[in-house]
Chains A and B, each alone.
Chain A
Amino acid sequence: QKEVEQNSGPLSVPEGAIASLNCTYSDRGSQSFFWYRQYSGKSPELIMSIYSNGDKEDGRFTAQLNKASQYVSLLIRDSQPSDSATYLCAVRAGGFKTIFGAGTRLFVKA
Chain B
Amino acid sequence: EAQVTQNPRYLITVTGKKLTVTCSQNMNHEYMSWYRQDPGLGLRQIYYSMNVEVTDKGDVPEGYKVSRKEKRNFPLILESPSPNQTSLYFCASSPGGGLNYGYTFGSGTRLTVV
Contact = CB atoms under 8 A, between A and B. Distances in A.
Interface in B37-63: 40-45, 48, 50, 56, 58-59
Interface in B2-57: 31, 33, 35, 40-45, 48, 50, 56
Interface residues of B, number: 26
A42 B88 CA distance: 11
Given A36-B102, A49-B102, A97 B35 contact: no
Contacts of A34: 102-103
Interface string B77-108: 00000000000001000000101111111111
Contacts of A88: 42-43
B102 A46 contact: yes
Interface string A62-105: 00000000000000000000000000101010011111111100
Contacts of B107: 42-43
Interface in A5-34: 8, 31-32, 34
Q: Name the 7 nearest CB pairs between A and B, nearest first.
A: A102-B42, A100-B43, A46-B102, A43-B105, A51-B99, A34-B102, A32-B99
Given A100-B42, A102-B41, 6 more contacts: A31-B99, A32-B101, A36-B102, A42-B107, A46-B102, A96-B50
Interface of B: 31, 33, 35, 40-45, 48, 50, 56, 58-59, 90, 97, 99-108
Interface of A: 8, 31-32, 34, 36, 42-46, 49, 51, 88, 90, 92, 95-103
16 contacts: A31-B99, A32-B99, A43-B107, A43-B108, A45-B105, A49-B99, A49-B102, A88-B42, A96-B31, A96-B48, A96-B56, A97-B45, A98-B33, A98-B103, A99-B45, A102-B41
